[in-house]
Amino acid sequence: MDSTPQAGRSDAGRSDAGTSAAGTGRPAAAAVEFVEIDWRGRRVHVEHEWLNRERTGAPLLVFLHEGLGSLSMWKDFPQRLCDALGWRGLVWSRPGYGRSTPRAPDERWDVDFMHRQAHEVLPALLAALRIDPARERLWLFGHSDGASIALLYAARFPRAPAGLVVLAPHILVEPISIASIEQAARAYREGGLRERLGPYHADPDSAFWGWNRIWLHPPFRDWSIEDEIAPIRCPLLAVQGLDDEYGTLEQVHGIARRLPQARVLELPDCGHSPHRDHPDLLVAAVRAFVLEHDSADPAPAPPPDPQTSQSRNASHPAPPLQIRTCGTTAYGSCLGS
């Protein structure tokens, strides 16, 4: 989905403000690499970056970006989260995004495009990087489309992930999603969105139209993975902003009704990107969830970044953190008392 920085909610006070790396907000020392995989009958290059690679034996957190995202659009959040957990991280751009191989000129994604990413691309990437889920403590951290891909991967390979964190996931198509995606198309043609995507994608048209056309394709209105996620067995934290312009709470509530092990975190004053709107709170929530569900000891809790916390809290005070077990009628939140 379109949560491109500076497109909608302000970046002021976020963890990604004021950083370097060619205007993307990522640390200047980041070492981006490429690996080749065979997908859809052609060889594609996938850009990726290892975080804390030297921490051999630590769990591995794989990040799956949103529908208009990329490796660089995460900015410094993956590093902050991995440092807080004491874990390794893998950040990458799916084919068609970032500096990975763009879509072929005649390539149009079909209704199963997220299934293909979960069942074909992600396993191929893990194999190419010699990541064996049977030997790793593998967690997935997905946002928006990337969250849906994480759910689909965990449903197809229920023994592979040790845990999931999904931000603003989609398990069905809602009218609010379609309306916002139609608005994004207008912004891309007329409102400067294409220019804002430029620093994050070698081919912005590949990223935008691959995503936009399939979401607005009439048969996609019936897309749903509500029943498909039932095989997921690992711990799962689902996070939703109460001001999300691309989905309602039914997305995370629907997960909780089907997966009794799920926890839900509802964030007030938060749009489609919790990792940008409330990064400190999200790091704390993920760390607390991991402490409860993973045997590997996370790093000591880091102090909040005083610069980002002070400026953000002036207009967006972080609510008290509460994560509760979800049932069929009661859901967790961080709304406070």
Cα separation of 67 and 167, whole Å? 12
What digits encode the pLDDT tens for the residues 76-85?
A: 999 999 999 9
What digits encode the pLDDT tens for the residues 188-237?
A: 999 999 999 999 999 999 999 999 999 999 999 999 999 999 999 999 99
What is the rounded average pLDDT for all residues in the chain?
A: 86
Q: Do 134 and 158 touch, CB atoms closer than 8 A?
A: no
- Domain definitions of the chain by residue range: 32-325
Q: What is the pLDDT of residue 18?
A: 33
Q: Which pTM value belongs to this model?
A: 0.85
As a whole number, mean pLDDT of residues 114-142 equals: 97
Q: Report the candidate in 66, 246, 225, 245 with the shortest Cα–Cα distance to residue 154.
A: 225
Q: Where are the alpha helices (DSSP H) in 113-259?
A: 113-116, 122-128, 145-156, 175-190, 193-197, 204-215, 250-258
Q: What is the pLDDT of residue 188?
A: 97
Cα separation of 301 and 85, whole Å? 8
| 42-51, strands of its sheet edge to edge | 32-39, 42-51, 88-92, 60-64, 138-143, 163-167, 236-241, 262-267, 324-325
What digits encode the pLDDT tens for the residues 12-58?
A: 333 333 334 444 555 544 589 999 999 988 899 999 999 999 999 99
Q: Which two tokens stand for residue 57?
A: 């034996």
CATH number of 32-325: 3.40.50.1820
- The answer to whether residue 312 scores a pLDDT higher than 80 is no
